[in-house]
Every structure is written in C-alpha cells, then in structure tokens.
Structure 1
C-alpha cells in the first residue's frame, strides 16, 4: 500500500519535475495524471512601446509563464495582439496611470474576459482544448465550461487610501463582485498589485503562511480581512525563500543623516487562491532580471493541475522525435569529383536488381529513396550539426551585453541624475 504524503511533502516544490510533463500519481488500477501550469503577476509600468511588449513576451516564454496578469499598462485605447506565442489583451482605461491586461500562452483556450472597473478585470480559460472561439458583443467567448479564472487586481496605494478611504472600499467592492461572478467549480486565482503589506507573522490569520516580509500596515489588514472572509489564501507567503525572492517592489526613501536615497524593499504583489485549492501549489516566489524596466518583480506560482480538467490536453506530453542527419549538400554543389562519384554510385545502385520493385508505386518510390540515401551517405557524407547561436553578429551581442549591465546598475544606483542618464542610455541601446 502506497504511503500517503505528509503536509510538508505535499506543499514542498518538486525538484525533479519538468514543466509540461505528464506523470502518474499513486498506484493500482486508477492512475491520476497531472500537469504543470505557471501563473504570474507583473506591474509593467507601461506597455505603449512595441519593443517593451516584445521583450515582455520573450521573458514570459523564457520563464515558462502560461498566464500573466499585467498592471499599469497605461494604454487608454486598449490592445489585443499576439507576440511570440502569447496573446496580449489590455483593457482601455480612462486614467493614464492605470490599465490592466493579460498575457496568455497560445496553448491555452480563452473562454471569456471582461473588466469590472479600471482596477479589477477577469479572465476565464476553457476546459475544452478544441473549443471554437467566437466574438460576441466585443467579448471573447468560447465553448466549454470555464476551467480556470484569473482576477487581475490593482489596488490604490496606501497614501491614497489614507486620504480617501472610499476609494479603497470601492476597490474591494469591485473585487468582491468579480469574485462572486466566478463559478465555484473553477480554479480561482487573484493576481495583482495590492499595495499592501501583510507582514511576516501569521497573527492568528489562516489566510497566509509564515514567510511574508515586514510589518503589516492598515491596507494589509484590509487585504487579510477580505481573504479571511472569502476563504482565500496568499500563496507567496507559503514557501521559504531568500529575501530577494520574497520582496516584490523596490522603492526609495531619503536618508536625512546621510543625505542620500536608500532602497526600500517591500512585498506588495500577491497571488491568491482558494484555501481548498492551495494543495495544488508547488512553488510561489518573485523573480528579478526581467528585460522590461519596472520597479516591481514578477511573481510566479507553479501549479500542479490534475489532468481531469483537460485544459492542457495532449500538448503537455513531450514527444521524442529522432532527427535524421542531413546530407552535406555544399560538397555536392561545389566539388566536381563528389558529383561524379555520387552520380556513378546512384546509377550503379539503381541498375542492380534488388527484387523490391513491383507494381505498387509507393513500394517503388521507397526502394528508390533507399538507393538515394545510400549513395549520398557513401560518397557525399553528412553535414556537421551546428549549434544555434543566440546572436548572428558581434555588434548585436555587444549591445545586448551592454544593456544588461546597465539594467543591473539601475537596480543599485541612488543618485537621481545618474539614474536618469543610465535609463536614457539603455533605452537608446534597446531601440538601436
């Protein structure tokens, strides 16, 4: 009889599991398949530049993110386009400093998406991989029941909430409205920038783990109360990580004694799930090193989704395709001796009776193919496989290396003038 995993084993991230690989769980007649799904949230600080949108989708593909909630897109007219295997959906906003959006991998089927307000939006994914997508009243609607719901949230800052409590109340009213519209049978994840610090201790709260950061503020109390009332759980307070993978935002404050700015590191971006679904979490943490500049870090949650939902379908199984070696056609095109040797060898092979020829056209063609490949292997040979190079010319490689170094410097510089100069120089390099 198989041993039941303990709570510690169930909530510890798997070390050897590979994204997208189906595996069996348990033993006996009934085998349960499971697949991986990665959900993220990222405050992008503007997506008007096509270059920034391209670098964003490239980073999401590099981090294997399937669905990402985006805040502060600053697109007043909205956007809907496909870039590098991800579909970017950005909602129009009345306020330039707001804007919500989603980046969805092409391997997932979108069921529906809508905006509740400038600060709350909802995306649902279909459980049918072959669902036919149609457009109805300006919204994307697909057949099949919703499998996964992502609520994108961008809360007002603590400073705005302190001076205008009604704005914070409106935000949580909109969040509660979006939460009530999601089917109870669907997996639910609320991802976004909540501008709230829940703190490092649990303080008799069942909605968070023991690995938060800092001291809880009054907006953090409001978030914890909302999660406790709605039976939700703050995923990125569960797992123990270094401080750099817990903090999600870097700010600056003036040190009067030293007369300079010093960095401030807070945890204000969260991925929230239902308490009953937290067993699906494999890991949840923040990551640095994103190509688009932002003072926020991306937060990624790794989920182990039971295959019974069927959202990933058969695409998650990796097929091993044996790659055939390629003939060195350059020698055949440039060397006269090789051409004559190949022609003579092929002519002699075709002239020899093999007993394979018959009335079937396909059998005759298969026999001719064997002679062609055999003659090429003997006289021409195979070409050496070339490794795919990341850069095609030295200038592009040097510019990419220089902009990465500038991005690292921007993280630690404290002087305002130097910081502005570095940002201008990096932007020029990226556009060139």
Structure 2
C-alpha cells in the first residue's frame, strides 16, 4: 500500500501473512526524501527494501525486518535469513538494516569483528544466528557499538513488565557513517517495543575519496581467443617500405589486437556454506515434524547452526590467508 500524508511524507506498507496475521513491515519517508526514492518493494511479510538515490551514483539501501519469534520453528527462521541474505547480496553503496530481530546478542566475543562490546544480556540461539549473519555479511550491529545506560538500551518489555530485553537492532555495512544508536525514551507508541533511532551521517566529499581507496581491485585480465581473431582480421597487414617501419608497424598492431582482446576474468565464486552443511539443511527441510522425531530435529538444528558458524569462519580465514600470501591489506580484506 502507498499513501502520502498531508505534510508530504510518503508511506509504503507491505502485507502481513494473511493466514496468521503475522508480520507486515513498512516505511515512512520524509517529504525531503520522497524525490530520492529509486524503488520500494517487499520480499515477504517480514522483509521490505527501500532503495534511495544519493548524490552522484551513490545509493542507500534500507532493509526493514521483522524476524520470527521464539515460538517459530527453525525452518521459518532459516527462511527469513535466507531471504535477508539474498537482499543483502544486491549491490549498493551503503546498506542499513533495521527492525525487530527477536534475538538477544549480548556483548561481542573474541574474534567477532562486527559485534561491539556494549550489548546487554546473555546471547541466545536467535542472537547467535543474527551474529553469524552479521559476521558473514560484514555488517555491524550498531546498538552494540555505543555505550548507554541500561534504561536507554532495552527495546522490548514483557507483558508482565518484569523483564526488559534488547531485541531490536540497527545494522550498517559502513561503520564510519554511524554516529549513534539510541532508544527514544519519551515517545510512547502504545507498543511493547520502544522506538530505536540511528544517527547516520554521509559526507559525500569525504566519502568519494574513501570509496575510491577502498574499491575492489580490478579483476585479472584474460585474453579471449575469438576477440583476438576478430581484432586481427580488422587490421591491415600490408608491408611498408623499409624493414624498420615494417617491424614497428607490426609490433604496434599486435599490441592493439591484444588490448582489444583483453577482458576481465571471472570472479572467483566460492560459497560460504560447505556442501556438508547444505546436505544437512536439505535433510532438515525434508524431515517430517512428528513427536517421535522432535529430538532428532532439535539436535539437527543445533548441528546446522554450529556448522554455519564454522563455515563462515573458515571462509573468512581463507580470505585473510590469501590476502597475507599475496601481501594485500588485511584490513581491506576484512571489509
């Protein structure tokens, strides 16, 4: 659904899951930003994507989420993260992910680069899944990066008002643009969740230089035999009077043919998830949920989560090792 308020703000709303009245995400865009909207679509009742054009060719991708609750089964959780990963894979200059992840992340642990040290509470299984995704996709969990007192951290209150948890998060792929993440305490929405606000500053003058320095290296060039043949056929190979002129002309034409035949080689496509883990995911997908198989299903889910974490860590370490062997910047490799 699309609408516009009297003050000029645009509203984009997705649909809930009609069978269970679950989910339903959306965006409210200020009047000043409505002219910058490139597209807005909803992947599912739990994920919406707003693409915004910034100055020049820069783009900002904002992903709004509502993750399955603790009552949902593992298959639903994995489907949510599969869809989220698919959206994150689409190219944009900046990416912001925000929403209710129904997960407790806690403080960052040793070896975790994209979780800060200021999270609250103990990490649960859903928190582990969120961290695994963040580390794999190199996206920072913003809440954990800023020190706040406990009253300004919790985002959800239990029905009995006895417990508070931090389960809503704002994530960014560029740490430098995020200046703060905090709860808006005075604003009462009538919900059991509190508003979460991020301060994001994109200085396009500085960013142009930074993005240029951190851009991906040019792919290795390879020669296309067909293009080389076509280039040679287009040239005139007539002899010129004088052996020196003939030699110089031949060398120059050969160089031109090679330049025309040169193209970027294919990028190395190495998946983060191992074949073993894929087989386990497929096995769980095909399992029937029965009382007899409940224990096996639960154990399999735990094994899959551990395997995913190991796969992502192995992928990261292989990239770092390759960068070290080639004497490249380890910091750039981590980005």
TM-score range, shorter chain: 0.5 to 0.7
Q: CA deviation at 1:245?
A: 1.2
Residue of structure 1 aligned with 2:156, choices 229, 236, 249: 249
- Residues 104/244 of structure 1: CA separation in 2 closer, same or farther (3 Å cut): same
Matches within 5 A, 1:24-173: 78-95=1-18, 96-108=21-33, 109-128=36-55, 145=57, 147-160=59-72, 164-173=73-82
Tell me the secondary structure at the aligned position of residue 182 of structure 2.
strand
In 2, the alpha carbon distance for the partners of 1:232 and 1:196 equals 16
C-alpha RMSD over aligned residues = 2.0
The answer to whether the 8 A contact 1:124-1:146 is kept is no
Q: Tell me if 1:181 matches 2:90.
A: yes
- 1:92-149 deviation digits (Å, cap 9, x = unpaired): 2333232110011111111111111111111011125xxxxxxxxxxxxxxx745211
Query: Hey, which of these two has a bigger chunk of helix by percent?
Result: 2
Cross-structure match for 2:259:
none
- Residues 86/214 of structure 1: CA separation in 2 closer, same or farther (3 Å cut): same
The answer to whether the 8 A contact 1:147-1:309 is kept is no
- Structure 1's unaligned 5+ residue stretches are 1-77, 129-143, 253-260, 311-432
Structure showing greater Rg: 1
Residue of structure 1 aligned with 2:171, choices 256, 269, 272: 272
- Structure 2's unaligned 5+ residue stretches are 208-335
Q: CA deviation at 1:248?
A: 0.7
- 1:221-274 deviation digits (Å, cap 9, x = unpaired): 00000111111110111111111111111113xxxxxxxx45211000000111
Cross-structure match for 1:294:
191
Higher relative contact order (CA 8 A, sep 6+): 1
Cross-structure match for 2:104:
197
Cross-structure match for 2:249:
none
In 2, the alpha carbon distance for the partners of 1:293 and 1:309 equals 41
In 2, the alpha carbon distance for the partners of 1:119 and 1:87 equals 20
In 1, the alpha carbon distance for the partners of 2:130 and 2:6 equals 34
- Residues 309/85 of structure 1: CA separation in 2 closer, same or farther (3 Å cut): farther
Cross-structure match for 1:229:
136
The answer to whether the 8 A contact 1:283-1:302 is kept is yes
TM-score (norm 2): 0.57
The answer to whether the 8 A contact 1:250-1:265 is kept is yes
- 1:352-408 deviation digits (Å, cap 9, x = unpaired): xxxxxxxxxxxxxxxxxxxxxxxxxxxxxxxxxxxxxxxxxxxxxxxxxxxxxxxxx
The answer to whether the 8 A contact 1:79-1:91 is kept is no
Cross-structure match for 2:240:
none
Residue of structure 1 aligned with 2:113, choices 206, 211, 224: 206
Size of the aligned set, in residue pairs, is: 203
Tell me the secondary structure at the aligned position of residue 181 of structure 1.
coil
Tell me the secondary structure at the aligned position of residue 5 of structure 2.
strand
